[in-house]
């Protein structure tokens, strides 16, 4: 346990463990699981070639405009401005804020969620509602934080969609396709060592696959970067028993981060 941990974070981490089913301390002395060697599930991939995101369907002009604007953005500030100036996506009209990202862009880990909800739309940052609090606790359990200044402990967070879909409906394939060039450029500019793909919409957008309960726990590759699909924190809030598997995925991510230092 980090000696600098503040009591609130320590309490949140304890709550996370209790949710996972921890009820007793079974050893005389605490075991630091991060020091225990975890067998890698799969052999380390040999420098995979960059893989482009799946080809979007339809909506040609909107997608072409997004590609052109995204490619012209030399940095994150320019990318955010390009997204703000993009007028092809109807979701923009109903949203209060463009939700671009949060956290430290030098982070080794980039988390990609689906789309802003009501709280995110109101505040302009990703994952700030209930699911976001759970996400923060999950990350704290492996010593990561969106507030960390050092790249080692930092996380950078964004979403597939920067605008809230009305009534939190699923984004349409057209909406995803037209915003995908911006996300691909976002990943390219941040250049994280690892990605976490939260939920079905994100896996559909970046892997062209759905079925998160099957996909989770198995490393994939997105734009040449190892990517871990995980069940979405909102799903974990509704399905607490799935937290055990999410904890395994977090440990796997922690091990990979330590492995590749």
Q: Which residues in this chain contact ligand URA in the complex, by CB under 6 A? A: 113-117, 120, 126-127, 131-132, 159, 198, 234
Distance of closest approach, residue 183 Cβ to ligand URA, in angstroms: 13
Q: Judged by CB, which is closer to ligand URA: 129, or 192?
A: 129
Q: From CA 5, how far away is CA 41, in angstroms rounded? A: 30
Q: Judged by CB, which is closer to ligand URA: 140, or 161?
A: 161
Helix H or strand E encompassing 91: helix 91-94
Distance of closest approach, residue 234 Cβ to ligand URA, in angstroms: 6
Per the structure block, which two tokens stand in for 172? 């349409």
Q: From CA 197, how far away is CA 187, in angstroms rounded? A: 12
Distance of closest approach, residue 115 Cβ to ligand URA, in angstroms: 6
Ranked by CB distance to ligand URA, the top (closest) residue is: 113
CB 198 within 8 A of CB 114: yes
Q: Judged by CB, which is closer to ligand URA: 142, or 160?
A: 160
Distance of closest approach, residue 242 Cβ to ligand URA, in angstroms: 16
- Tokens 């994100």 sit on residue: 202
- Tokens 């893989």 sit on residue: 51
Q: Judged by CB, which is closer to ligand URA: 97, or 106?
A: 97
Q: Judged by CB, which is closer to ligand URA: 153, or 202?
A: 202
Distance of closest approach, residue 159 Cβ to ligand URA, in angstroms: 5
Chain CA centroid to CA 60, Å: 27
CB 42 within 8 A of CB 219: yes
| 162: nearest Cα among 215, 214, 114 | 114
| 67: nearest Cα among 172, 202, 171, 182 | 182
Distance of closest approach, residue 43 Cβ to ligand URA, in angstroms: 31
Q: Judged by CB, which is closer to ligand URA: 134, or 255?
A: 134
DSSP code, position 109 = E
| Bridge partners of residue 159, in order along the sequence | 113
């Amino acid at each position: 346990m980090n000696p600098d941990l503040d009591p609130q974070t320590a309490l949140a981490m304890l709550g996370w463990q209790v949710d996972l089913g921890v009820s007793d301390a079974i050893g005389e002395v605490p075991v630091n699981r991060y020091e225990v060697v975890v067998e890698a599930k799969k052999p380390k991939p040999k420098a995979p070639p960059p893989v482009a995101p799946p080809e979007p369907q339809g909506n040609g002009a909107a997608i072409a405009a997004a590609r052109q604007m995204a490619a012209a953005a030399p940095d994150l500030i320019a990318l955010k401005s390009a997204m703000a100036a993009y007028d092809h996506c109807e979701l923009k009209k109903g949203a209060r804020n463009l939700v671009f990202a949060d956290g430290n862009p030098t982070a080794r880990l980039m988390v990609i969620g689906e789309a802003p909800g009501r709280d995110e739309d109101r505040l302009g940052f990703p994952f700030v509602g209930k699911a976001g609090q759970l996400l923060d606790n999950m990350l704290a359990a492996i010593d990561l934080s969106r507030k960390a200044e050092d790249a080692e402990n930092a996380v950078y967070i964004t979403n597939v969609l920067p605008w809230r879909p009305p009534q939190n409906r699923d984004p349409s394939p057209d909406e995803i396709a037209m915003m995908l060039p911006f996300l691909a450029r976002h990943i390219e500019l941040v250049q994280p060592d690892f990605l976490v793909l939260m939920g079905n919409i994100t896996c559909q957008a970046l892997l062209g696959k759905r079925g998160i309960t099957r996909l989770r726990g198995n490393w994939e590759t997105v734009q040449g970067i190892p990517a871990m699909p995980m069940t979405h924190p909102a799903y974990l809030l509704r399905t607490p028993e799935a937290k055990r598997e999410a904890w395994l995925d977090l440990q796997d991510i922690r091990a990979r981060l330590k492995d590749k230092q």
